[in-house]
């Protein structure tokens, strides 16, 4: 009878995988670092504009900045967890990143709800429905995309909510938790880069555009049609970047 591996054995195995795939992890870390540099620079621009005129920065703008900073913290948590071999726990920050990206899109699309959203974020209203992930998905995605992103989200939830037995993994890369977690991290990093340009395109310097363009040339090697696209797909959504092609055009401006 084959001896079952202990938790320590599993951690050792995953740490070995991380060392063997150090080049991939370096690329992932560099991508996170690039996102951090862009957000840091944009926040500096926003601060200078705020000093000139406080009306240049609204409460919603501040909330969106907080979301992006929080997303970067989640990415760093994910990076260190997979690097140290703590694979199953690494799905928790991935789920939070996905939820945060959807929230930002929801806020951008529903500007008429700004006052409600501000009150929810400040804890003045106890509302569990407005930001419920499944509700946001219905509001920003067409039926086909809804199905894909729901499967993706449930796949993440397997590792954060074990009682969801009906969920099946739809993004398996090599039937190996380490590679699956790494690939989903990259997918969400790509999605967050699109989000950053949706929010701050006019404030992003040329040097960062070139770096992002260079990173995307490497990103394209990793992805195919089995991975969902998180850009809102309903016809009536009011966003600037509606396709990956739009994103490339924004980078080249």
DSSP-assigned states of every residue in 64-81: HHHHHHHHHHHHHHHHHH
Does residue 40 come out as left (phi exceeding 0), alpha (psi in the -120 to 50 range) or beta? Answer: alpha
Let me know if residue 16 belongs to a domain: no
Please state the pTM of the whole predicted model. 0.88
Let me know if residue 32 belongs to a domain: yes
Phi then psi dihedrals of residue 67, to 5 deg: -60, -45
Contact 63, 117 (CB under 8 A): yes
Per-residue pLDDT tens for 91-139?
A: 899 999 999 999 999 999 988 888 888 888 878 887 778 888 999 999 9
Let me know if residue 198 belongs to a domain: yes
Domain count, the chain: 1
Contact 235, 192 (CB under 8 A): no
Let me know if residue 1 belongs to a domain: no
Pair of tokens at residue 123: 């804890």
Let me know if residue 4 belongs to a domain: no
Contact 80, 209 (CB under 8 A): no
* Helix count and strand count (H, E) for the chain: 10, 0
Give yes or no for residue 31 having a pLDDT over 70: yes
Let me know if residue 10 belongs to a domain: no
**Distance in angstroms (rounded) separating the CA atoms of residues 192 and 6:** 36
Per-residue pLDDT tens for 197-252?
A: 999 998 999 999 999 988 888 776 666 555 677 999 887 778 899 888 888 888 87
Percentage of the chain exceeding pLDDT 70: 87
Contact 28, 79 (CB under 8 A): yes
Let me know if residue 3 belongs to a domain: no
Q: Which domain holds residue 203?
A: 21-252
Let me know if residue 197 belongs to a domain: yes
Per-residue pLDDT tens for 62-72?
A: 889 999 999 99
């Amino acid at each position: 009878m084959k001896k079952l591996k202990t938790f320590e054995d599993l951690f050792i195995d995953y740490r070995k995988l991380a060392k063997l795939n150090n080049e991939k992890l370096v690329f992932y870390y560099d991508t996170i670092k690039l996102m951090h540099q862009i957000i840091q620079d944009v926040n500096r621009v926003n601060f200078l504009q705020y000093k000139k005129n406080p009306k240049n920065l609204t409460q919603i703008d501040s909330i969106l900045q907080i979301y992006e900073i929080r997303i970067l913290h989640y990415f760093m948590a994910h990076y260190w967890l997979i690097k140290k071999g703590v694979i199953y726990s690494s799905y928790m920050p991935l789920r939070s990143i996905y939820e945060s990206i959807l929230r930002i899109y929801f806020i951008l699309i529903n500007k008429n709800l700004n006052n409600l959203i501000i009150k929810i974020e400040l804890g003045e209203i106890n509302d569990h429905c407005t930001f419920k992930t499944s509700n946001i998905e219905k509001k920003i995605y067409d039926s086909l995309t809804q199905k894909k992103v729901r499967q993706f989200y449930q796949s993440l939830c397997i590792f954060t909510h074990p009682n969801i037995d009906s969920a099946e993994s739809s993004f398996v890369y090599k039937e190996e938790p380490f590679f699956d977690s790494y690939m989903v991290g990259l997918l969400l990093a790509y999605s967050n880069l699109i989000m950053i340009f949706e929010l701050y395109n006019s404030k992003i310097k040329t040097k960062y555009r070139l770096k992002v363009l260079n990173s995307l040339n490497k990103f394209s090697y990793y992805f195919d049609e089995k991975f969902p696209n998180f850009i809102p797909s309903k016809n009536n959504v009011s966003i600037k970047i509606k396709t990956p092609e739009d994103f490339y055009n924004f980078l080249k401006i």
